[in-house]
Amino acid sequence: MKLYEITLCGPFYGVGSGPANPFYVVARDATAAYDTLRRTLDSRETGFPRDREMQTIELLAEATECPDCKHRLLLADEAKP
């Protein structure tokens, strides 16, 4: 599993207590991370469709012994796939 930071094109005020861009998603790859975020926002009809388009995605941490991104993601037992 990998932790991604995803920045979308639009601002997302009111998705909780304040601005929610960027978003953080744990997924197996970048495509799955964006798809998960996009499905969540689409189902809630959050923002305009053009605001939900991805601007940037960055790998922050990885659940492996020697991650390429240099930051190791530790998962609790109940979070492991």
Summarised one tens digit per residue, pLDDT across range 5-21 is 999 988 776 555 445 78
> For 22-42, how does the pLDDT look when each residue is reduced to its tens digit (9 = 90+)?
999 999 999 999 999 999 989
Domain that holds residue 57: 2-79
Q: Is the peptide bond before 22 cis (omega within 30 degrees of 0)?
A: yes
Give the number of domains in the chain.
1
Tokens encoding 69: 């991104």
Say which residues have a Cβ less than 8 Å from residue 79's Cβ, sequence separation at least 6. 1, 26
Rounded to whole angstroms, the Cα distance separating 32 from 40 reads: 12
Tell me whether strands 2-8 and 23-27 are parallel, antiparallel or unpaired: antiparallel
